């Protein structure tokens, strides 16, 4: 779909540059209208005041008001957009970490119910859902809605109710004393709150292939690549991953690229992908599905030029020329901070809450209250977990939204307990 809104920023750069990709991805996920202008020659670069295509001031961003930023950081773009704020209160009722569907939902319910609410988000609103080109199974949107738009609506809604959303800030450490949940951000900023919700979701698993890091952002991308689809016109695309997100990404790219290969480890999509997506993939003439196959090598000089895929049963390999590989192979939570703070995690790092903390009905060690932990409460009273980061959660947008809302109900009960 072509974005017809007036652009807020023009981004000049080279395809295959990780820095340019980071800027495009950030703007797309935050639903900021932008125009991407690919520079192909030294002359084109000189025309905008650069030395040439190799000028390390790329990417260059020029905002509608004329502001020019050479090689901007995500923080400087956030500042320009007015999103990079410091906490305005010394103490909040509720601090939410992560602005994916769970965090945004908690922000809407928390702020609308009168809690002084702050949300801390490392990258962009929307989380994983923000990278989805079209969410079709979320209630109330029969034609589907892009993840970025859904996130932007939710952000607007949360802000209208008075929630503060701090973008480009990452929670790295927590301290929990009586009645206070203190979170520390990367730059040392301290967020003090009476209750906190961890809604930090999961981070994508990396492709277990040599050279993955070298090509990350230069041909190898994670998620459904919604910001990149329109750049794939005329190119072959490879998608890896046999879940709904891989299938969704494949269908999206098939509308732009002449051909798309979906690589999956299983022997069929049927057991791991929703039926409506399986039907559409089967019907798509320009989609090939390679089952029982995995990516075993990446090739290229400065950017990805080909991938090698190998059949797990026969061992037969095939080289596919492509500049575009999108991996949708699931993720894992990043909750190292929690173990340092004594918060119970499962073996995979998911936060354990409510009934899952009880062992033969016994409350968790050190639990100080004469009630059991609430359903979404961790073993630290007043610290809740919602969405994909939670042990045993259902990995769906609607479930994350539901848990965000539900967590706020328990926050009220916790605060009322005194």
Ligand X SMILES: Cc1cc2nc3c(=O)[nH]c(=O)nc-3n(C[C@H](O)[C@H](O)[C@H](O)COP(=O)(O)OP(=O)(O)OC[C@H]3O[C@@H](n4cnc5c(N)ncnc54)[C@H](O)[C@@H]3O)c2cc1C
Which stretches of the chain bind ligand X, using CB under 6 A? 97-103, 120-123, 127-129, 131-132, 135, 137, 170-171, 199-202, 223-224, 244-245, 248, 328, 334, 387-388, 395-398, 400
Nearer to ligand X, 9 or 239 (CB): 239
Minimum Å gap between C-beta 398 and ligand X is 6
- Give the C-alpha distances (Å, rounded to integers) separating 74 from 79, 82, 172, 279, 280: 9, 12, 18, 39, 36
Nearer to ligand X, 239 or 290 (CB): 239
* Residue for token pair 């084109």: 44
* Nearest by Cα to 348 from 384, 381, 382, 395: 395
Minimum Å gap between C-beta 402 and ligand X is 11
DSSP string, 14-36: -TT-HHHHHHHHHHHHTT--EEE
* 269 vs 262: CA distance, rounded Å: 10
Nearer to ligand X, 246 or 300 (CB): 246
- Give the C-alpha distances (Å, rounded to integers) separating 53 from 18, 43, 214, 232: 15, 8, 20, 21
73: Cβ contacts below 8 Å, ≥ 6 apart: none
Minimum Å gap between C-beta 167 and ligand X is 9
Nearer to ligand X, 115 or 351 (CB): 351
396: Cβ contacts below 8 Å, ≥ 6 apart: 137
Backbone angles phi, psi at 105, to 5 degrees: -65, -45
Nearer to ligand X, 58 or 389 (CB): 389
Tell me the three state secondary structure of residue 195. strand
Minimum Å gap between C-beta 250 and ligand X is 11
* 81 vs 59: CA distance, rounded Å: 17
> Is the link from the previous residue into 59 a cis peptide, with omega within 30 of 0?
yes
Nearer to ligand X, 60 or 148 (CB): 148
Minimum Å gap between C-beta 301 and ligand X is 29
Nearer to ligand X, 7 or 138 (CB): 138
* 154 vs 103: CA distance, rounded Å: 10
Minimum Å gap between C-beta 225 and ligand X is 8
Looking at residue 362, the DSSP 8-state letter turns out to be B
* 212 vs 7: CA distance, rounded Å: 33
Looking at residue 413, the DSSP 8-state letter turns out to be H
Nearer to ligand X, 50 or 151 (CB): 151
Minimum Å gap between C-beta 274 and ligand X is 8
Minimum Å gap between C-beta 205 and ligand X is 11
């Amino acid at each position: 779909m072509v974005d017809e809104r007036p652009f807020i920023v023009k981004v000049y750069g080279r395809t295959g540059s990780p820095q340019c990709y980071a800027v495009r991805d950030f703007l797309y996920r935050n639903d900021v209208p932008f125009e991407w202008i690919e520079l192909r020659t030294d002359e084109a670069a000189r025309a905008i005041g650069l030395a040439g295509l190799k000028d390390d001031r790329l990417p260059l961003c020029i905002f509608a008001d004329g502001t020019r930023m050479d090689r901007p950081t995500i923080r400087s773009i956030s500042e320009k957009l007015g999103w990079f704020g410091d906490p305005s209160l010394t103490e909040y009722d509720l601090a939410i970490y992560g602005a994916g569907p769970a965090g945004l939902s908690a922000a809407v319910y928390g702020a609308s119910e009168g809690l002084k609410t702050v949300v801390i988000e490392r990258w962009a609103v929307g989380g994983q859902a923000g990278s989805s080109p079209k969410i079709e199974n979320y209630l109330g949107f029969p034609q589907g809605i892009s993840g970025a738009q859904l996130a932007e609506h939710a952000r607007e809604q949360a802000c209208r109710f008075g929630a503060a959303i701090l973008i480009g800030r990452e929670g790295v450490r927590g301290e929990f004393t009586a009645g206070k949940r203190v979170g520390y951000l990367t730059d040392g900023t301290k967020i003090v709150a009476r209750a906190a919700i961890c809604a930090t979701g999961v981070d994508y698993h990396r492709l277990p292939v040599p050279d993955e890091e070298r090509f990350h952002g230069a041909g190898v991308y994670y998620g459904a690549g919604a910001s990149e689809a329109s750049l794939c016109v005329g190119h072959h695309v490879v998608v890896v991953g046999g879940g709904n997100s891989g299938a969704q990404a494949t269908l999206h790219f098939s509308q732009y690229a002449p051909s798309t290969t979906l690589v999956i480890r299983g022997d069929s999509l049927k057991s791991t992908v929703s039926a409506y997506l399986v039907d559409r993939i089967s019907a798509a003439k320009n989609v090939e599905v390679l089952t029982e196959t995995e990516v075993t090598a990446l090739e290229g000089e400065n950017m990805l030029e080909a991938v090698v895929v190998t059949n797990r049963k026969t061992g037969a390999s095939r080289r596919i020329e492509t500049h575009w590989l999108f991996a949708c192979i699931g993720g894992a939570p990043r909750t190292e901070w929690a173990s340092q703070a004594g918060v119970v995690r499962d073996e995979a790092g998911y936060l354990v809450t409510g009934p899952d903390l009880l062992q033969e009905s016994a409350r968790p060690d050190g639990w100080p209250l004469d009630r059991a932990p609430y359903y979404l409460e961790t073993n630290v009273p007043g610290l809740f977990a919602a969405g994909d980061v939670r042990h045993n959660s259902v990995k769906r947008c609607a479930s994350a939204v539901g848990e965000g809302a539900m967590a706020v109900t328990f926050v009220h009960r916790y605060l009322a307990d005194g």
